[in-house]
Amino acid sequence: MGSSELIFRGHETQPVSDSYSPKPDKPWASVTRPIRYMLREQRLLFVFLGIAIATLIFTLFPASPGFVGSHLVDRLIARGDSVMVVDNFFTGRKENVMHHFGNPNFELIRHDVVEPLLLEVDQIYHLACPASPTNVVGTLNMLGLAKRVGARFLLTSTSEVYGDPLQHPQKETYWGNVNPIGVRSCYDEGKRTAETLTMDYHRGAGVEVRIARIFNTYGPRMCIDDGRVVSNFVAQALRKEPLTVYGDGKQTRSFQYVSDLVEGLMRLMEGEHVGPFNLGNPGEFTMLELAEVVQETIDPNAKIEFRPNTEDDPHKRKPDISRAKELLGWEPKVSLRKGLPLMVSDFRQRIFGDHKEGSSNNEASS
Ligand SMILES: O=c1ccn([C@@H]2O[C@H](COP(=O)(O)OP(=O)(O)O[C@H]3OC[C@@H](O)[C@H](O)[C@H]3O)[C@@H](O)[C@H]2O)c(=O)[nH]1
């Protein structure tokens, strides 16, 4: 049964403050109940919530605009789930999911999660997060929805909750070192608040929740020129521009290929553990080392240009993934040197319109 047969009452108002109130009577229950029963009996129905807003003032730390989500949708559809994507397309790209148009198991809804919406679903992957104060509102709305319809809710939190970490590598038990009033705070504290709300809805309202803390992720369909380092370096090398290394380039990050992340998210959703779980690749690189890998992969003659670093830039970051290994049976399979070429062919195609290099849907087999 296609998800298009669902009842969608997206424009009903559902004030955040009534999130804990009992469910009102559903006038269409006699119609929706059998449909819901059949859907549940056949396959789970998913809502995937895409990116919400990246406003002009807050574009500093854009979350993945439809990038991670679109790969997740591919996997869910491939295993036969019905998927509804909710996205306001402020930064997300319709092209990322266009190949599912016409599939009765796929539905796309233009909606901003800062506005409440009501959909009958079993699972919610909440990936929407603008670097703006509205991210907390979006999370509240989605938690309210999960409570109301009894859906399992997965929050994609971030390694940013560890701030500029004083513990290395970072374990989930580490509470972090975040500046509450800095330029990154809106995103970092927004995600920390999202984790808090998620746990409160779990403890207080019995919502089934899952929390993933996602480390730097890259792959095909990543936004070009979004400011993140892998996207910047790859686009710069392809355009024969110098790679812009911020600061002295000795700060470290751990880069995970998108298919590894998607596998981790799905295992987390299906598993029995709330988390939080670090989902990241423990391979740690300085930005200068990353630049070297990009040079090896794209252009050995690419120059490096040093730029002043941004404020509060974390000095190092590397996930301890023992918990995910033990409880989810998950670990990344794609190294940076293997994953980067798969992203490069997609970027080349999108930057130069070159169709010889393969499709934008490249995935590393993992
Ligand atoms: O062109 C660039 C861009 C960035 N950088 C550096 O590369 C490092 C990584 O920067 P990014 O912006 O890619 O990523 P960050 O690790 O700072 O934040 C990221 O962390 C986890 C995710 O959840 C966030 O969405 C993402 O912003 C920083 O040290 C930055 O200073 C460069 O050297 N050159």
pLDDT of residue 17: 36
Question: Would the CB of 160 count as within 6 Å of ligand 1?
Answer: yes
Residue 258 has which token pair? 């998108």
pLDDT in tens, 16-74: 333 333 344 445 555 555 455 444 444 445 555 543 322 222 222 333 338 999 999 99
pLDDT of residue 64: 33
pLDDT in tens, 217-246: 999 999 998 899 999 999 999 999 999 999
Residues in a beta bridge with 285:
253
* SS3 annotation, 71-90: HHHHHHHHCCCEEEEEECCC
pLDDT of residue 315: 97
pLDDT of residue 209 exceeding 90, the answer is yes
pLDDT in tens, 135-183: 899 999 999 999 999 999 999 999 999 999 999 999 999 999 999 999 9
Nearest residue to 349 via CA among 259, 225, 221 = 221
- Local confidence band at 129 (pLDDT 50, 70, 90 cut-offs): confident
- Local confidence band at 104 (pLDDT 50, 70, 90 cut-offs): very high
Question: Would the CB of 287 count as within 6 Å of ligand 1?
Answer: yes
Q: Which atom of ligand 1 is nearest to the CA of 245?
A: 33
How far does residue 228's CA lie from ligand 1's centre (Å)?
5
Residue 267 has which token pair? 């295992």
pLDDT of residue 331 exceeding 70, the answer is yes
pLDDT of residue 28: 53
Q: Which atom of ligand 1 is nearest to the CA of 233?
A: 1
Q: Is the dihedral of CA 158, 164, 170, 173 positive or negative?
A: negative
pLDDT of residue 46: 52
Task: Determine contact, residues 223/89, Cβ cutoff 8 Å.
Answer: no
Question: Would the CB of 232 count as within 6 Å of ligand 1?
Answer: yes
Residue 262 has which token pair? 């998607």
pLDDT of residue 131 exceeding 90, the answer is no
Residues in a beta bridge with 306:
245
Question: Would the CB of 246 count as within 6 Å of ligand 1?
Answer: yes
What are the counts of helices (DSSP H) followed by strands (DSSP E) for the chain?
9, 13
pLDDT of residue 4 exceeding 90, the answer is no
How far does residue 216's CA lie from ligand 1's centre (Å)?
8
Least confident of 115-119, 280-284, 348-352: 115-119
- 182: how many CB neighbours lie within 10 A of its CB? 14
Task: Determine contact, residues 256/228, Cβ cutoff 8 Å.
Answer: no
- Domain range list for the chain: 3-20+30-221+255-285+317-335
Least confident of 13-22, 183-192, 313-322, 333-342: 13-22
Q: Name which residue sits closest to atom 20 of ligand 1, judged by CA.
A: 216
Question: Percent of the chain beyond pLDDT 70?
Answer: 78
Mean pLDDT of 283-291: 98
How far does residue 336's CA lie from ligand 1's centre (Å)?
16
Kindly provide the ipTM of the predicted complex, given to two decimals.
0.97
Question: Would the CB of 251 count as within 6 Å of ligand 1?
Answer: yes
Question: Would the CB of 217 count as within 6 Å of ligand 1?
Answer: no
Least confident of 35-49, 59-73, 261-275, 343-357: 35-49
Catalytic residues: 187
How far does residue 235's CA lie from ligand 1's centre (Å)?
15
Mean pLDDT of the chain: 83
Round to whole Å and give the CA distance between 21 and 13: 14
pLDDT of residue 83 exceeding 60, the answer is yes
Q: What is 114-177 written as a DSSP string?
A: TS---B--SEEEE----SSTHHHHHHHHHHHHHHHHT-EEEEEEEGGGGBS-SSSSBPTT---B
Which CATH code, of 3.40.50.720, 1.10.3720.10, 3.20.20.70, 3.40.50.300, is assigned to 3-20+30-221+255-285+317-335? 3.40.50.720
